[in-house]
Structure 1
Amino acid sequence: MKVIKLAAVALTLVLAACAQEQDSTTAANEVASRDLQPADAQLAEIYNRSCRSCHTVAATGSPLTGDTAAWQPRMGKGMNTLLDSVVNGFGGMPPFGLCMDCGAEEFEALILFMAGEQK
């Protein structure tokens, strides 16, 4: 019985350490995402008013800007699927990602920027 309790305590400590490591990685990604801006001034303006507030805060559940690991499975679904998610809303993201005056071209450029595939 004592061995089982010790094993349970050891497992708890290992899992807690993993969670702290993941939290510090998430925090580092969050900080890094805050500094990223599209090179294009018009795109930067759209990003700052419509995307930045969610895609730089890990607690929102949004993939962070520049976090290629988080964006990879989403990009794997294809641009048409991603554009559909933006236009119709997905999860906590509202329709049009709060950019009612954006078109498909702007959305695609913003997705590519946030996914780290375009500056």
Structure 2
Amino acid sequence: MTRTVLAVDDSPSIRCMVALTLREAGYDVIEAGDGQQALEVALSRRVDAILTDQNMPNLDGLGFIRAYRSHPSGRGTPIVFLSTESADGLKAQAREAGALGWMVKPFTQAQLLAVMKKVLG
């Protein structure tokens, strides 16, 4: 069964790189440009994992995770932060909100695929 990943980032180039990398590896990818759009998508269809940026308009990554985790359908879905930020305090807030892991931009395709394999098996 093909796994579906929701890629959330306000940068079209980052979303494109993530989507191309994951699609070439056999994943289905849904894209969202901010946390609010991602929340609407994630609550309307099944996703197997989520990659989200932190700094986005309308709803940032932490706000998105908190809102998504507050819904029954948002429990158990692996969420990985994909951000230029790497402050320990922000990482702790992300874990408390419900993120499973953290990737720092820039990243390589191999790193992205390794993380997805780890969270999705």
Structure 1 or 2: more helix by fraction: 1
TM-score tier after normalising by the smaller chain length: under 0.3
Q: Which has the larger radius of gyration?
A: 1
| TM value normalised by structure 1 | 0.27
| TM value normalised by structure 2 | 0.27
